[in-house]
Amino acid sequence: MELTLSPVYSAWDKQRLKNFYIKGAANMDVSTVYVGEVICQKRALLSNQDYKDIVSALKKSGKTVYMASLALITNKDELERTLQFAHLFDGIEVNSFGVLNLIIKDESLKDKDIIFGPFMNIYNSVATGYIKKFNPARLVIPYEVPYDTIKGITQGADIPVEVNAWGHLSTALSWRCYTARTFELGREDCRKKCFDFPEGILLNTIDDEDLYIMNGIQVLSSKIHCIIEQLDMLKEANVPYLRITPAYHCTADVVNIYSGVVNGNIDKKEAVKMLDAYAEHGLSNGWFLGKPGWEYIAA
Amino acid sequence: MTDNLKIYAPAGNLASIIRAIDAGADAVYAGFRSASNLRNFSGINLSEGDMREGIWYAHKKGRGVFITINSYPQESELPACYKAVDDAWRMKADAIIVSDLAILDYAHKNYPELKLHLSVQAGASNSEAINFFKDNFNISTVILPRVVTLDEIRGISNNADVEIEVFAFGSLCINYEGKCFLSPYITGESTNTIGTCSTPKYLKFGESGGKLSFTMNGIKMNEYAADELELMPRIKEGRYQKQESETQWADNFLINRRQICKGRYIDSATKKRSYALQSPVYLNAVDIIDKLIDAGVSSIKIEGRQRNEAYVAKSVSAFKTVIDEYHKTGVLSVTKETMRSLNELFADIQPSHTCYLCK
């Protein structure tokens, strides 16, 4: 079982992103790193040279490096720009069928791996069987899919799957920029306010109970999805890849803990206690176990 | 001017099919009573017998019925969806509305003559995505997600060889269809796989300190002070006397307040209590019909399979009058009476064009 790093979903400034990959991720115990903007084209600040530097550093430390692409694409400009640096990477995580269609028609990208991202809504083994015609290297399971379905997919179709193991859950994407709206700005005139909130804006209920996080056009769960106690179930289902979502502060520590459990050096119960310290608003694993997403059910 | 803009109406029961057809809908969309469609609420959707009768009635009047089979089934739900496709073909439905690759593939392989409409839930928001589904499954129509502007609709229409359909009226989902999990995060019931959103069975009302509160599976979504709500006084004043009953008014009132996305929350940046995700507005594009046609839209969809036949008849009739007049004169004219009759279907909330007019 290998660990991977998902794309960064929040708005981090350019220098922080570069440092995260070149100085941080390159030294983490992960086999694959996904780099690139998934949420909003306006956040895509890295240049061709930046990507070259990042890919070079990660490849030097033996990582497979994939480019993640936008999840919500509504015009030609976004379609064209989302793939402009694809040639630098080992493969592309597609999060829109539009991007998939561009890749399969583009001869220059035919040697690149295709990874079906979590926003592609592949929910069953028959749909997984269908996408085999595009020869995908991996399928990232959608966030809400429970264990029983994951097992059905891994048993019914032989595409390696990647399962979200740690991170805030994506609970919505919208045409609206929620962060801009908070400041009474429109999406077209957002002033890139999300860069002021690299961990997003917390949304509490009127009883002051934390619930969601606004991250530009995305809404995330406030709780952090954590299935470290369920790793044996994942092994039984032949899941080869566990995905860790980078966070603003603690990614290296989280990777170390997951790595410790995968390698048998840290007890799972102990790991949960350690990880809980990195989840300001608590842990959840409900969706994985077929329950409401915000619940945490201890093993 | 090309063919008239078509009106596709929702139907949660046989009576709604009949009323929609009588009011002038070009086609009706409806689902079976199973997890095969995304309005899987108790009390709505059609038995096989009613669907067959509805199709017979629509065909007799020269109109159509589309069957929605637009959930993303997990393993155990696949057989019900395949059966729905088989039944749709046997009943001579005019098209099925689908999202999932497994169902698209099944229908395309087994019933190549059955028209496939790509559901809004597939989230095909750009021309390349639509072309993917056209190339692989020969879809004839795409229902665009409510995330595109008029300019973007025009760009899609110019670069995709399918009929373009958009939502023009009804409850407004502000999030990208197929990618919204706000409700399953709270309830555990998946919108994508079993077709429920903010299911009423999880909604509870409480009253304390003169305030009425709404909770969804224990999470407080909103509370209203008596003077804010004014529900009963308004009815008593006769302000909504044209509503069919108090129950109808209350249904209309709640329809845009019970969803998780339409709750009031407090954000950590401004500390304000607000409708941070979505204000209680509804979609009404009747006054931009000309712009939708100009952008390449072939058909408009009225949302609301969960609504009753009176809603269906009134909304179809209002749109039919406006569209027919527009095609006859080339001038879009929406009377105050038409707008008022549509507004009444959503109690006291404001109409919205969603992002259609955004830049």
Domain ranges of chain A: 2-168+223-284
What local confidence, expressed as pLDDT, does residue B260 receive?
86
Number of Cα atoms under 13 Å in the Cβ half of residue A60: 12
pLDDT grade for B348, boundaries at 50, 70 and 90: low
In the predicted model, what is the mean pLDDT of residues A26-42? 97
Q: How far is A39 from chain B (nearest CA, A)?
A: 12
| Residue B195 phi, psi dihedral angles, 5° rounding | 80, 30
Q: Do A121 and B184 touch (CB under 8 A)?
A: no
d(CA B319, CA B166): 14
Instruction: Answer yes or no: is pLDDT of A34 > 80.
Output: yes
At residue B320, the 3 state secondary structure works out as helix
Instruction: Answer yes or no: is pLDDT of B71 > 90.
Output: yes
Q: What residues pair up with B97 in beta bridges, in sequence order? A: B68, B117
Query: Is some CB atom of chain A closer than 8 A to the CB atom of B74?
Result: yes
Query: Is some CB atom of chain A closer than 8 A to the CB atom of B247?
Result: no
In the predicted model, what is the mean pLDDT of residues B252-263? 73
Edge-first strand listing for the sheet containing B203-208: B203-208, B211-216, B219-225
Percentage of residues in chain A having pLDDT higher than 90:
96
Percentage of residues in chain A having pLDDT higher than 70:
100
In the predicted model, what is the mean pLDDT of residues B208-233? 75
Instruction: Answer yes or no: is pLDDT of B251 > 80.
Output: no
Q: Are B193 and B199 in contact (CB under 8 A)?
A: no
Q: How far is B70 from chain A (nearest CA, A)?
A: 12
What local confidence, expressed as pLDDT, does residue B146 receive?
92
Query: Is some CB atom of chain A closer than 8 A to the CB atom of B331?
Result: no
Q: Which range is least confidently modeled, A91-105, A223-237, B209-223, B286-300?
A: B209-223
Pairing verdict, β B281-284 and B163-171 = antiparallel
What local confidence, expressed as pLDDT, does residue B228 receive?
67
Q: Do A219 and B192 touch (CB under 8 A)?
A: no
Percentage of residues in chain B having pLDDT higher than 70:
90
Query: Is some CB atom of chain A closer than 8 A to the CB atom of B186?
Result: yes
Q: How far is A180 from chain B (nearest CA, A)?
A: 11
Query: Is some CB atom of chain A closer than 8 A to the CB atom of B269?
Result: yes
Q: Do B269 and A123 touch (CB under 8 A)?
A: no
Q: Do B174 and A174 touch (CB under 8 A)?
A: yes
Model confidence, pTM: 0.95
Task: Show residues of chain A in contact with B127, CB under 8 Å.
Answer: 76, 79, 98
Query: Is some CB atom of chain A closer than 8 A to the CB atom of B329?
Result: no
pLDDT grade for A80, boundaries at 50, 70 and 90: confident
Q: Are A197 and A179 in contact (CB under 8 A)?
A: yes
d(CA B64, CA B28): 6
In the predicted model, what is the mean pLDDT of residues A28-51? 96
pLDDT grade for B242, boundaries at 50, 70 and 90: very low
Instruction: Answer yes or no: is pLDDT of A259 > 90.
Output: yes
Complete DSSP assignment for A6-65: PPP-S---HHHHHHIIIIIGGGSS-SEEEES-SS-GGG----HHHHHHHHHHHHHTT-EE
ipTM over 0.90: yes
What local confidence, expressed as pLDDT, does residue B255 receive?
62
R_g (Cα) of chain B, nearest Å: 20
Q: Do B181 and A97 touch (CB under 8 A)?
A: no
Task: Show residues of chain A in contact with B135, CB under 8 Å.
Answer: 101
* Partner-chain residue, chosen from B128, B178, B277, that has the shortest CB–CB distance to A79: B128
Q: Taking the C-alpha atoms of A5, A6, A12 and A15 in order, what is their torsion angle to the nearest 10 degrees?
A: 40
Q: Nearest chain A Cα to B219, which residue?
A: A205
Name the average pLDDT for chain B.
Answer: 89
* Partner-chain residue, chosen from A127, A144, A174, that has the shortest CB–CB distance to B181: A144
d(CA A68, CA A52): 15
Q: Do A79 and B155 touch (CB under 8 A)?
A: no
pLDDT grade for B233, boundaries at 50, 70 and 90: very low
What local confidence, expressed as pLDDT, does residue B110 receive?
98
Q: How far is A267 from chain B (nearest CA, A)?
A: 29
d(CA A53, CA A21): 9
pLDDT digits (tens, 9 = 90+) for B300-332: 999 999 889 999 999 999 999 999 999 999 999
Q: How far is A211 from chain B (nearest CA, A)?
A: 9
Q: How far is A256 from chain B (nearest CA, A)?
A: 28
* Partner-chain residue, chosen from A99, A175, A293, that has the shortest CB–CB distance to B147: A175
What local confidence, expressed as pLDDT, does residue B244 receive?
44
Query: Is some CB atom of chain A closer than 8 A to the CB atom of B355?
Result: yes
Q: What are the structure tokens assigned to A215, written together?
A: 């991250």
Instruction: Answer yes or no: is pLDDT of B241 > 90.
Output: no
Q: What are the structure tokens assigned to A141, written together?
A: 């399971």
Determine the CATH number of domain A2-168+223-284.
Answer: 3.20.20.70
Instruction: Answer yes or no: is pLDDT of A109 > 70.
Output: yes
Q: Taking the C-alpha atoms of A229, A230, A235 and A241 in order, what is their torsion angle to the nearest 10 degrees?
A: -90
Task: Show residues of chain A in contact with B176, CB under 8 Å.
Answer: 72, 172-175
pLDDT digits (tens, 9 = 90+) for A126-142: 999 999 999 999 999 99
Instruction: Answer yes or no: is pLDDT of B98 > 80.
Output: yes
What local confidence, expressed as pLDDT, does residue B239 receive?
37
